[in-house]
């Protein structure tokens, strides 16, 4: 029997890179998809240095032709697909609703939501052919548990929609033995802030201060990409065989505090 195969989008850095490493450690062959060639090469090299197998897939998740080509390349190499981690996304522009432009709104919706749609649309047929599998969508506590991030209307809308997609598709895909769940991280040490444009924060911020930090379980410190990756690996595995359609918050209690 062939080794199981996983696809991780946004796998060049942060949560995606940690997820790719965690899945490789569990014995998966991994396709690491992103659009930064240097990051992809580094991520693949790390997995290979640890004895795993990975390939880089350079593609924009919001481009249907590029996603089709990338998934096709993955299937040509490994001949099957068992796990999909739909992780790629941006924070986009966070601004007051009357300052946020339609172009800014559309970019966040396109990358985060249309990108998730295209990831699933291009991979689900191959999961069906493999006889089933697991999909993990990386959402957020924003839009699912908390709503206090200044000006993040477009971002929270995409994250809430991702969870709705997960719950809708859990029933649709169950007959094909495909499970689909969402992980919803809180504050995590990643470089996604590089994709954030925050404007007029004073007009949208909620004036609350937590003197000891906003992540109770760690004494205020952010979580790590590994914290999320290990949950992703669990949801990919047979250990989670009876879990589908569920959002799982990986936030150290942050969402309850906020």
Catalytic hit among 28, 94, 155, 249: 155
Say how many CA atoms lie within 13 Å of 4 toward its Cβ.
Answer: 19
Q: Which residues does 92 contact at the CB level (< 8 Å), separation at least 6?
A: 104, 107, 108, 111, 112, 154, 155, 195, 196, 197
Confirm whether 155 is a catalytic residue. yes
Burial (CB count within 10 angstroms: exposed 0-12, middle 13-18, buried 19+), residue 249: buried
Distance set, CA 86 to CA 200, 204, 235, 237 (Å) = 31, 29, 13, 16
Distance set, CA 164 to CA 65, 160, 196, 252 (Å) = 25, 6, 24, 23
Q: Which of 181, 175, 187 is nearest to 251 (CA)?
A: 187
Residues with active-site annotation: 155
């Amino acid at each position: 029997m062939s080794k199981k195969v996983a696809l991780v989008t946004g796998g060049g850095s942060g949560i995606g890179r940690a997820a790719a490493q965690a899945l490789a450690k569990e014995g998966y062959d991994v396709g690491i998809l992103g659009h930064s060639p240097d990051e992809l090469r580094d991520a693949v090299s790390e997995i290979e240095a640890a004895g795993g197998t990975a390939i880089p897939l350079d593609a924009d998740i919001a481009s249907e032709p590029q996603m089709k080509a990338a998934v096709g390349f993955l299937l040509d190499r490994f001949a099957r697909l068992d796990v999909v981690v739909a992780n790629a996304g941006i924070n986009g522009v966070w601004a007051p609703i009357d300052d946020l432009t339609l172009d800014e709104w559309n970019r966040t919706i396109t990358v985060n939501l249309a990108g998730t749609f295209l990831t699933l649309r291009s991979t689900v047929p191959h999961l069906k052919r493999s006889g089933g599998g697991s999909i993990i969508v990386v959402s957020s506590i924003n839009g699912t548990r908390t709503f206090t991030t200044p000006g993040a209307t477009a971002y929270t809308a995409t994250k809430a929609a991702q969870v709705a997609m997960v719950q809708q598709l859990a029933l649709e895909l169950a007959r094909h033995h495909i499970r689909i769940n969402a992980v919803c991280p809180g504050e995590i040490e990643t470089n996604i802030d590089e994709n954030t444009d925050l404007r007029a924060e004073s007009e949208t911020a909620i004036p609350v201060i937590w003197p000891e930090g906003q992540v109770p379980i760690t004494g205020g410190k952010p979580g790590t990409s590994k914290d999320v990756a290990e949950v992703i690996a669990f949801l990919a595995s047979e250990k989670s065989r009876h879990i589908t359609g569920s959002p799982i918050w990986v936030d150290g209690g942050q969402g309850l505090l906020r």
